[in-house]
Structure 1
Amino acid sequence: MPFAFELNNFDPVADEYLDWIRETLKPELTRRFGPVAPARTALAGSSFGGLITLYAGLRDPGEYGTWGVLSPAIWPADFALRRWMSGRSDPQARVWLDMGDHEGPDLKGAAEIVKLTHALAADLSPLVREVQVTIGQGHWHDEAAWRARLPAFLRWWVKGSGSA
C-alpha cells in the first residue's frame, strides 16, 4: 500500500515493492527475454493491486505504457490516492480502469462505487494519453469478475501497444 492506514498498520511499503519491480524484476526479465519498450510494457492488478498499479504508473512515468487498473481500492487513508495524483502525469500511458456494477455493500453502495470510478477516470484523463472505462454488468469485487474482464483488458492492451 502506498499510504499509511489501519490495514497496513500505518506502514506503507509500496515504494519498496515498486523499486523491486523496477530494479530487480524488470532487469531480470530483460536479461532472459530481451528488451521491451515501455509502450509494450503493462502493469496490472485488482483491488489493492489496482491501487498500486495506478500509483506505480504515476510514480514512475514512462516505465509502464499500459496500466490495468481493475476494481481499484482507492478508499484507503480517506482516498489519499486522489489527492496524491495532483501534479503527476504520464502523457504516454494508456489506462484500463474497470469496476463491477455490484461492488459494494448494497445496490446504493455499488452505484456510488461506479460513480467514483467515473470520477477517477475524469481525474486521470488529463494526466495520461487514454483512459478506457469498463463496468462489468453483474460483477462483484472478486476473482471471478476479474477473470471475466481480464481477456478484454489483454486484447485492448495488445491492440494499443503495437503488438497486434
Structure 2
Amino acid sequence: MSNRTLLSLELATPEDDEKPVYLAGNFCDWYPDLTEFEMEKVGKGKYRFNFSPDKNLPEKIEYKYTRGGWDFVELDSYGNSPANRVITKKQGSIKDYVPFWREDGSTASITQLMPKVQVVSESFTIPQLGTTRAIHILLPSDYEQNTDKRYPVLYMQDAQNLYGEGSDYGNWEIDKRLSLLAKQGKGDVIIVAIDHGDKDRFKEYSPYTVEKKGKGMGMKYANFIVRTLKPYIDKNYRTKPEAQFTGIGGSSMGGLISLYAGLMYPETIGRMMVFSPSLWVSTKIYFDITEFFSPINTKIYLYAGGKESGAMIPGVKKIKETIESQHWSTDKVDVKLSLDSRGEHTEKRWGEEFAKAIAWLFY
C-alpha cells in the first residue's frame, strides 16, 4: 500500500444530464471512455474523481475531460479545443471548469442565442463591378426584442464558408460561435456576409494587377462595400454607423481585400479582422500602409499560421512592423498579432480564431 496522499479532481460544468464524464490523459494512453476513469457525479453539473494512491502516475500529469469520446471533448469559452490540462503535484484537490462540450464532432452552440440569418438580397447590385451578389445578414438573437438597441457591424467575405452547412472548403461556424459569445455578453455584433464571386473571386478581392491573372478589381470592390452596401445596411438595420463600430474581415484573398479596404477607408472602417492574408499577390500593400493609411481610431487583428506557407508568418509580422514604423499613437491604431505555429490554411482554423478576434475588436 502506498503512503501517497490522494489526488482528486473536481469538475464543474453548466451541462447537467445523464451523460457520464471521463478523464483521458497520459496515465491511460488517452483513451476517452475507460470505465476506470469515469467520474462520480456528486451534484448538479458537478463531478469528482479520486486517483488511487496505488496508481502509478507520470511526473507530469496531462489530461482532458470527455463525455465518452473525442467527438464529445471539453471546449473553452470560445468553443475551441483547449490545450491539455497539466498537473505537476500528486496530492490535494484540483478544481476545474468546462464551459462547453463538443457535440458529435461539431462546435458547441446555444440554441436560444443563435443569430437570426436573413437574406438581404439574392442578387444585390454591385454597380462598381457591373454584377450582382447574394448577401445575407446574421442578426443577434435579441435583435427583434430590443427594438431600441443598435449594433456594431462586421462585413465579411466568402459568406459561403462562414455558417450553416458551410461549403466544400469548410465552415467557420460563426453562427455557433456567436451564440457562445452571446453567453458571455460579447455577441451583440451584426454580421453582413457577402458571397464571393466564384470564378471572379481572385480579381474582385485583389487590389493589384497580377501577371497571368489580369487587373485586380479590389479597389472597386472596396468602394462597393463603403459607398453602396454600408449605406444600405445602415438605412435598413439598426446599426452603429460610426467607424469604431464598423469592421471588415476575411481570410486568404478575403483577408487581403479586408486589409486593403480598411487602409483606404479608415474614416468609415475602424475594425479589421485579417486572417492569413494573401500577401504574395503584391508587396505594394506595404507601400499603401506608409503612403495612404491615415488611421483615426483603428484596431487591426492579424492572424497567421505556421503550416500555411513559409512566407505567411513573416509577411503578417511585416504588416504589423510597417504600421508601427509610422509611429502613430495607440489612440489612432492598435494592432494585435496572433500566431499559431501549427495553424493551417483552413476554414476550421479561421473559425477557431473568429471569436477571439470579435472579442478583441469590439469589446
TM over 0.5: yes
How far apart are residue 137 of structure 1 and its match? 4.1
1:56 corresponding residue in structure 2: 261
Alignment partner, residue 109 of structure 2? none
State the Cα distance separating 1:28 from its structure 2 match.
1.1
Query: Residue 34 of structure 1: CA displacement?
Result: 3.3
- Counterpart-to-counterpart distance in 1, 2:235 and 2:337: 34
- Establish whether residue 141 from structure 1 lines up as the match of residue 345 from structure 2: yes
Among candidates 236, 246, 250, match of residue 45 of structure 1:
250
Matched length? 151
CA distance in 2, matches of 1:55, 1:30: 22
Structure 2: which 5+ runs fail to align? 1-205
- 1:21 Cα deviation (Å)? 0.9
Deviation at 1:91, TM superposition (A): 3.5
CA separation in 1, counterparts of 2:225 and 2:245?
16
Q: Which residue of 1 aligns with 2:320?
A: 121
Distance in 2 separating the partners of 1:144 and 1:6: 31
- Contact kept, 8 Å, 1:39 with 1:64, in 2: the verdict is yes
Q: Is the 8 A contact 2:290 2:323 kept in 1?
A: no
SS at match of 1:85: helix
Q: Distance in 1 between matches of 2:232 and 2:288?
A: 30
More helix per residue:
1
Tell me the SS of whatever aligns to 2:278. coil
In structure 2, the residue matched to 1:162 is none
Give, in whole Å, the separation in 1 of the partners of 2:225 and 2:296: 21
Aligned to 1:27: 231
Between the aligned partners of 2:262 and 2:298, the Cα distance in structure 1 is 8
Tell me if 1:103 matches 2:302: no
> CA deviation digits over 1:52-94, x for unaligned, max 9?
11111111121111111111111113x2211232222214211
**Which stretch has the larger CA shift, 64-73 or 34-43?**
34-43
Structure with larger Rg = 2
- Distance across 1 between alignment mates of 2:222 and 2:314: 29
AA of the residue aligned to 2:267: G
The C-alpha deviation readout for 1:1-55, integer Å capped at 9, x for no partner, is 1000036x32111121112111221111111113422111111111111111111
Gaps of 5+ in 1: 160-164
Larger fraction in strand: 2
Q: Given the alignment, which residue of 272, 278, 288 partners 1:67?
A: 272
- Give the TM-score, by structure 2 length: 0.40
What amino acid sits opposite 2:216 in the alignment?
Answer: P
Q: Offset at 1:100?
A: 1.0
Distance 2:219 2:317 in 1: 27
**Larger relative contact order (Cα-Cα within 8 Å, sequence gap ≥ 6):** 1
- Aligned partner of 1:141: which letter? H
Tell me the equivalent position of 1:87.
Answer: 291
Distance 1:151 1:15, change over 3 A: same
Query: Which is worse superposed, 128-137 or 83-92?
Result: 83-92
Identity score, percent: 25
Partners of 1:15 and 1:120 lie apart in 2 by 19
Whole-angstrom CA distance in 2 between matches of 1:3 and 1:141: 22
Question: In 1, are the aligned partners of 2:306 and 2:342 still within 8 Å (CA)?
Answer: yes
Q: Aligned-pair distance for 1:136?
A: 2.4
Distance 1:16 1:113 in 2: 26
Q: Secondary structure at the match of 1:22?
A: helix
1:6 to 211, 216, 222: 211
Give 3-state SS (helix, strand or coil) of 1:99's partner: strand
Structure 2 counterpart of 1:155: 359
Q: What is the aligned-residue RMSD (CA, Å)?
A: 1.7
The 1-side partners of 2:347 and 2:337 are apart by 19
Partner-residue secondary structure (3-state), 1:90: coil
Runs of 4+ in 1 over 3 A off after TM superposition: none
